[in-house]
Amino acid sequence: MNVIEVSELTKKFGSFTAVDHISFDVKEGEIFGFLGANGAGKTTAIQMLCGISNPTSGKGTVAGYDIFKENEQIKHNIGYMSQKFSLYEDLKVWENIRLFAGIYGMNDKEIKENTRRLLKQLDFESERDTMVASLPLGWKQKLAFSIAIFHTPKIVFLDEPTGGVDPAARRQFWEMILDAAYKGITVFVTTHYMDEAEYCDRVSIMVDGRIDALDTPHNLKQQSQAQNMDEVFRKLARKAKRIN
């Protein structure tokens, strides 16, 4: 079953085509790597999939809902976290959990139970009353991810979730992602770490607003006769003409 189906999706800003007729499907429980150089159009594409930005043309469904007409339903069925914004720094750990759970309409009892369970899972019980600002980055990102999937969404969108995180925490983070995927949550992730692209079931590479390649990491490496994803990426992205 596909949780994301997109066909000929396009977004124009004036004469500039940020996303140029992209089509792809993402299967349920899949980890889908969404790669591309800076300015290739990744962020715009994600905004359209999350229902924050309306496409200029094309069609698509996310979690079974139409991205044109059913933005609100989409928002209830997805989770989102990015490197830039994930948590409120001036709120405590439990206050952040409470806030986001509340936003997704959980009742007090559910929130209470789930908060306890989550803190235990993360081994964070002692940090319950810690201000998020004073947590190390790796911990913040782990917490942010847990909160993004707290309401068990069908899909979670991760926009460069591991930028700047130390190597050990980065791997722990990916272990959490794999765990979530095993539980059936579809993961849609962007990253600049090419070794992380290897953890994905399938990877798409965006160049100049189009999807230039889409396959398993194994096949991509074979097709472009590359040792690793870094090489694949460089070979493809080098073709980019657009500089913006």
Partner 1 sequence: MGKSVLTSPAIMIDVRDLHKSYGHTVALAGVSCSVNDAEIFGIIGPDGAGKTSLFRILASLLLPESGSALMNGVDVVKDYEKIRRMIGYMPGKFSLYQDLTVEENLYLFATVFNTTIEENYHLVKDIYQQIEPFKTRRAGRLSGGMKQKLALCCALIHKPEVLLLDEPTTGVDPVSRKEFWDMLRQLKKQGISILVSTAYMDEASLCDRIALIQKGRFLGIDTPQGIISSYRRSLWSLHAGNVRGLLKSIRSYPHVRSCFAFGESHHVAVEEGFSERDFQQYLSSKGYGQIHLEPISPTVEDFFLDMTIDN
229 touches partner 1 by CB under 8 A = yes
The nearer residue to partner 1, 47 or 61, going by C-beta atoms, is: 47
Question: Could you tell me the sign of the dihedral formed by the alpha carbons of 73, 78, 82, 85, in that order?
Answer: positive
Closer residue to partner 1 (CB): 156 or 194:
194
Q: Which of 5, 21, 39, 114 binds partner 1 (CB under 8 A)?
A: 39
Is residue 37 involved in binding partner 1 (CB under 8 A)? Answer: yes
Binding to partner 1 by CB under 8 A, coded x per residue (else -) over 119-158, reads -----------------xxx--------------------
237 near partner 1, rule: CB under 8 A: yes
Regarding 79 and contact with partner 1 (CB under 8 A), the answer is no
The answer to whether 117 contacts partner 1 (rule: CB under 8 A) is no
Let me know if 227 is exposed, middle or buried by CB neighbors in 10 A (0-12, 13-18, 19+): exposed
Report in angstroms how near the CB of residue 228 gets to partner 1 at its nearest: 7
Q: Which is nearer to partner 1, 76 or 235 (CB)?
A: 235
Question: What minimum distance in Å lies between the beta carbon of 229 and partner 1?
Answer: 7
The Cα 214–Cα 6 span in angstroms is 14
Rule CB under 8 A: is residue 182 a binding residue for partner 1?
yes
Alpha helices in the chain (DSSP H): 42-49, 71-76, 93-103, 108-122, 137-148, 167-182, 194-197, 217-223, 229-237
Tell me if 78 contacts partner 1 by CB under 8 A.
Answer: no
Which of 48, 4, 39, 43 is closest to 24 using CA atoms? 4
* Nearest to 74, CA basis, from 105, 51, 104, 101: 51
| Nearest CA-CA partner of 131 in 100, 169, 89 | 89
- Least separation in angstroms between CB 184 and partner 1: 13
Structure tokens at 128: 């319950």
Residue with tokens 């469904």: 61
Binding mask 189-218 for partner 1 (x = CB under 8 A): ---xxxx-xxx-----------------xx
For residues 40 and 18, give the distance between their C-alpha atoms in angstroms, rounded to a whole number. 7
CB of 102 or CB of 167, closer to partner 1? 167
Q: 9: helix, coil or strand?
A: strand
- Gap between the Cα atoms of 19 and 58, Å rounded: 11
- Enumerate binding residues for partner 1 (CB under 8 A): 36-40, 83, 136-138, 160, 163-169, 171, 174-175, 178, 182, 192-195, 197-199, 217-218, 228-230, 233-234, 237-238, 240, 243-244
